[in-house]
């Protein structure tokens, strides 16, 4: 029997749809406390967080992750119940299996085994766990980091358990992420009858050239670590539902995923310049989701690559592709941050699953990293 599999099942069976934790963190705390971890409940508003630390000395190695999962969608579309962990053809099925309850289980097992073998290890080990990664990320990791910063408690190395792998465990490690900036644009017109366009002003028509220019702008070329900045319209809504009414406003939501070659303020300035050049009447609200970060070298990257090679025989690819993660809140403190977890092919999908053997492999890699850094 696999200890990692058992813990993964226990976590999946807890219906922790964001921002609910459903007892996941209590289960983890009950495992960590007997190992000598001091566990702190850092709940903010509707979000449960824990900070668990073993040791008081530096360097501080931190496992970071989240117990919350995205909704399952219609359960009738699942081959197995999403919140009942089910073994099938060598895989464990259930919401959160890959994102990221399998990683949490592997972290716990790796820590148990490492502490048993190295009770007097160097430095400290910590767990930063939140129930608000899949939600609005307001009261989760960012608030915990604020708390740690206020008391000058610094993370040296942080491993985030996001599902980074593409085809096999450890084939891809995220050593950074692009920045994210969202714009909510309201273009104002004058509502009227489609048969009398001279008495109205159509915000859809007026916006098309500006949106086309934004969509076709080359914001930067990227660099060796980051792809070029991208602009994508994610939502657009205008009209009353009637076919004979010119709408009075148009709502557009767009997002930048940006590299280190440009700043959020530069993107805002250039966007406003385009909107003004097309003489639009508009309001715009900006949501800053995080700066780009990069850990391109250092002991954490080296230990991770060596551990993956030792445990799997694979050379790993360092990548900054994909969405955002809570690493964006941790890296600005000066910590080296990487993301390593299971294969991400089924995350957020119906019938999410992870290969059972991969869970133990991931635990072995995590333990090997601890061994290289703290033994």
Together in a domain, 171 and 69: yes
N-to-C CA span, the chain: 27
* The pair of three-digit structure tokens given for residue 153, joined into one six-digit string: 């408690």
User: For residues 55 and 53, what is the distance between their CA atoms, to the nearest angstrom?
Assistant: 6
Together in a domain, 317 and 200: no
Helix (H/G/I), strand (E/B), else coil: 35: helix
pLDDT > 90? residue 136: no
How confident is residue 339, by pLDDT bands cut at 50, 70 and 90?
A: very high
pLDDT > 90? residue 1: no
- The whole-model pTM stands at 0.90
User: For residues 293 and 332, what is the distance between their CA atoms, to the nearest angstrom?
Assistant: 8
How confident is residue 159, by pLDDT bands cut at 50, 70 and 90?
A: very high
Q: Per residue in 261-320, pLDDT tens?
A: 999 999 999 999 999 999 999 999 999 998 999 999 999 999 999 999 999 999 999 999
Together in a domain, 49 and 149: yes
Q: Per residue in 51-95, pLDDT tens?
A: 999 999 999 999 999 999 999 999 999 999 999 999 999 999 999
Q: Residue 322's pLDDT is what?
A: 83
CATH number for the domain harbouring residue 54: 3.40.630.10
Which stretches does DSSP call E strand in the chain? 38-41, 49-54, 60-66, 86-88, 91-93, 124-130, 157-160, 172-174, 176-177, 179-188, 192-193, 230-238, 245-246, 249-258, 282-290, 293-294, 317-319, 336-339, 353-355
Together in a domain, 189 and 233: yes
Residues linked to residue 93 through DSSP beta bridges, in sequence order: 86, 353
How confident is residue 362, by pLDDT bands cut at 50, 70 and 90?
A: very high
Q: Residue 154's pLDDT is what?
A: 97
Number of domains in the chain: 2
CATH number for the domain harbouring residue 264: 3.30.70.360
Together in a domain, 187 and 140: no
Residue stretches of the annotated binding site for Zn(2+): 66, 99, 134, 162, 348
pLDDT above 70 as % of the chain: 100
**What range defines the domain where residue 254 resides?**
179-290
Q: Residue 326's pLDDT is what?
A: 93
Together in a domain, 216 and 319: no
User: For residues 88 and 105, what is the distance between their CA atoms, to the nearest angstrom?
Assistant: 19
Q: Residue 112's pLDDT is what?
A: 98
Q: Which of 160, 260, 254 is nearest to 212 (CA)?
A: 254
Together in a domain, 83 and 189: no
pLDDT > 90? residue 124: yes
Neighbours of 251 (CB within 10 A): 14
Distance of CA 108 to the CA centre of its chain: 20
Tokens 């740690």 label which residue? Answer: 148
Together in a domain, 145 and 218: no
Contact 142, 327 (CB under 8 A): no
> Which of these three, 290, 314, 333, is where a domain ends?
290
Together in a domain, 219 and 113: no
How confident is residue 234, by pLDDT bands cut at 50, 70 and 90?
A: very high
How confident is residue 321, by pLDDT bands cut at 50, 70 and 90?
A: confident
> Which of these three, 232, 261, 290, is where a domain ends?
290
pLDDT > 90? residue 329: yes
Instruction: Identify the helix (H) or strand (E) that includes residue 168.
Output: none
Together in a domain, 45 and 184: no
Together in a domain, 37 and 11: yes
Residue 61, CA distances (Å) to 58, 127, 134, 187, 315 in order:
9, 9, 24, 48, 23
Together in a domain, 266 and 303: no
C-alpha angle 372-29-312 in degrees, rounded to nearest 5? 30
> Which of these three, 258, 274, 290, is where a domain ends?
290
How confident is residue 349, by pLDDT bands cut at 50, 70 and 90?
A: very high
């Amino acid at each position: 029997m696999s200890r990692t599999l058992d813990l993964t099942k226990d976590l999946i069976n807890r219906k922790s749809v964001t921002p609910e934790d459903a007892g996941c963190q209590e289960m983890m705390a009950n495992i960590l406390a007997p190992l000598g971890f001091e566990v702190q409940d850092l709940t903010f508003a509707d979000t449960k967080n824990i900070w668990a630390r073993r040791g008081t000395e530096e360097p501080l190695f931190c496992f970071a992750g989240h117990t919350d999962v995205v909704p399952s969608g219609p359960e009738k579309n699942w081959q197995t119940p999403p919140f009942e962990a089910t073994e099938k053809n060598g895989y464990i099925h259930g919401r959160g299996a890959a994102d990221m309850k399998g990683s949490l289980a592997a972290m716990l097992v790796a820590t148990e085994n490492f502490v048993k073998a190295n009770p007097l290890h160097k430095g400290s080990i910590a767990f930063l766990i939140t129930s608000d990664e899949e939600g609005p990320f307001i009261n989760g990791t960012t608030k915990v980091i604020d708390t740690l910063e206020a008391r000058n408690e610094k993370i040296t190395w942080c491993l985030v358990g996001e599902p980074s792998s593409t085809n096999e465990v450890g084939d891809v490690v995220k050593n950074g992420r692009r920045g994210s900036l969202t714009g909510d644009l309201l273009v104002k017109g004058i509502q009227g009858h489609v048969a009398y366009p001279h008495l109205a002003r159509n915000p859809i028509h007026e916006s098309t050239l500006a949106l086309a220019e934004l969509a076709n702008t080359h914001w930067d070329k990227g660099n060796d670590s980051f792809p070029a900045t991208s602009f994508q319209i994610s939502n657009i809504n205008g009209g009353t539902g009637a076919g004979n009414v010119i709408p009075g406003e148009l709502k557009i939501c767009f997002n930048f995923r940006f590299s280190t070659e440009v700043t959020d303020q530069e993107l805002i300035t250039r966007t406003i310049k385009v909107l003004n050049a097309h003489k639009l009447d508009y309001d715009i609200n900006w949501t800053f989701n995080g700066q780009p970060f990069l850990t391109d070298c250092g002991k954490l990257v080296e230990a991770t690559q060596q551990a993956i090679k030792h445990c799997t025989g694979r050379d790993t690819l360092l990548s900054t592709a994909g969405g955002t993660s809570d690493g964006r809140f941790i890296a600005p403190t000066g910590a080296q941050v990487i993301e390593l977890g299971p294969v991400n092919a089924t995350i957020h999908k119906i019938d999410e699953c992870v290969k059972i053997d991969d869970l133990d492999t991931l635990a072995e890699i995590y333990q090997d990293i601890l061994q290289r850094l703290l033994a």
